[in-house]
Structures are given as C-alpha cells and as structure tokens.
Amino acid sequence: MEIMVLGSNGQLGRSIRDVFKNELFDITFFSKSDLNITDKPKLEDALKKYNPKIIINAAAYTLVDKAEDDSLNAYSINSSAPKYLSEICKSKDIHLIHISTDYVFDGVKNSGYVEEDVTNPLCVYGKSKLCGEENIIKSGCSYSIIRTAWVFSEYGNNFVKTMISLANKNEISVVSDQIGTPTYAGDIARLILKICSLTEYSNIRGIFHFSGNKKISWFEFSNFIFQSALEVGVIESKPNLYPILSKDYITKARRPNNSVLNSSKICSLLKIEPSDWQEGVKIVLNKI
C-alpha cells in the first residue's frame, strides 16, 4: 500500500519512521523542505506522482505563543493546507489521517473531553487547528482526525526534554492548575499503524481522541520526569520544584486548564490501550 507522510521531521513524523520501518508498506516521507503543503499545485503534483492510498498529515504550526503574532502562517499551515489536502483526497479517493489537538477546547469541563463535546478554542493555534478540522469535514473526503495532547518524545522540542535541560537549576516553578493527559508520540505512531493496517476505513472515519492513560498537572508531570531521570541516572539530583498558578505565569496565548482527552472511543474500536505516558517517559530518558 502506498502511504505519504507529511511533516516527517517533526517528533511525530520521526516516531512514525521508527514504528513503520519494518512494516510492508510503500511509504514516502516528506519534510517541509521536500513539500510545501500550503502550495496546492505542488501538493497535486506530488499526489499524482506517488498516487497514495493514505496520507498521514503530521505537519502543523505548533508554536502556540508565536502564533498569536503570526496568525497568517498558523492558519496557512493548520487550516488552508488541510483544506487543500482533503479536497485532493476527496477527488482521488485517498484516506486522510490528520493530527489535531486538545486546544480546540476551552478547558472549562470538569471531566475528560469526548469527541462530541462543544469546541471553543482560546488561542490562535487552537482556532487554526479547529478550522483545519472543519475544512476536512466539509470536503467530504474519507478521514480520521486524531486529537491528542501534551505530546512528547525523544525527538524535537517538548516538555520532557525541556525539563531535563533545566535539571541543573536549583529551583523551577511549574504550573499546577492545568491538567492533561500526556501522550508519547511513539504510541500515536502505533495507533496510526493500526489504522493503516485496516482493510477498509468505514469504521474509523470521523474525529477520535487519543491521549494518555492518566491525568496529571504540569507540576506533577515535572516531578515524575525528574524522579524517573534520577532513577535511570540521567541526572544526579532533582531541582526544587514549586507550584505556580496559571494567572501568575503569563503567556501570550491562553491555554485550557483542562486538557484531559477521553480516549475510550478509539481504544474500544481498535482494541488498544491509551498511551502509557509513564513508560513513554522512561523510553525517552533511556534514549537521550
């Protein structure tokens, strides 16, 4: 089966490379420099050349705070590009697997978000990603939109690697009133492999949530990262961690206080488990 992966140099794209490397798929990876997904004619040319059955769109503008002042680029990559992709997929009967985010929600719900919950993004990044979802749905193509949250891996820039880079500090303040379900990118890649291995996609069309198996605050997540790093010998001592409220940690973009995603729908459908982020952290620490 012919598969195209867009955004191959990101942490999810690189995780997909790892997970798919021994699989019997005819798979082609495209980085931003290989293919500008905001250029519809170039997209059409690439799809005509490779004629894929599945497109995995792991490309996104993910600089949440920068997006507030760079909305044109954020919307171009997160909204316009999915529109072009889905329109081409519709015309060529290609199944599109698209990665979205918990930031489509406002975080006011007291429990985990399910796919049917009303969206209400608080920032440009979230709004642009929601527009991307809406454009895909409007196209009428065959699609699986996977919303995920707090993604980390051994690749790229992410919270786990940032915390380890700060381990030599004496004190670190971390937000304690934002909760979520961290997700190891390798687990998302394995989910995508599961979808690609299906013989047909009628049951996997729509929006699905896939995230971690346990909710936790950023402060608690930091503590787990440092404790795990200490146990495997990545660091020699833990910095002193201090909880801080969101209102005292000013950022350009507003973030949802509750980013917990309920993954039961897709896990039940595909008979898989949510991301074991605790094990994921240990994998990352052993690799870095």
Contact 16, 56 (CB under 8 A): yes
Tokens of 108: 């006011």
Tokens of 248: 């005292």
CA angle 138, 194, 161 (to 5 degrees): 90
Residue 152: beta bridge partners? 184
- The answer to whether residue 103 is catalytic is no
- Residue 137 CB: number of other CB atoms within 10 A? 14
Q: Where are the alpha helices (DSSP H) in the chain?
A: 11-20, 40-50, 71-75, 81-92, 124-139, 159-165, 185-196, 218-232, 264-270, 277-287
d(CA 248, CA 263): 31
Contact 184, 242 (CB under 8 A): no
DSSP state of 238: P
Residue 216: beta bridge partners? 180
Contact 7, 32 (CB under 8 A): yes
Q: Which residues 6+ apart lie within 8 Å of 168 measured at CB?
A: 239
d(CA 18, CA 283): 13
Q: Which one of the listed residues 61, 84, 103, 125 is annotated catalytic? A: 125
- Residue 277 CB: number of other CB atoms within 10 A? 26
What is the set of active-site residues? 125
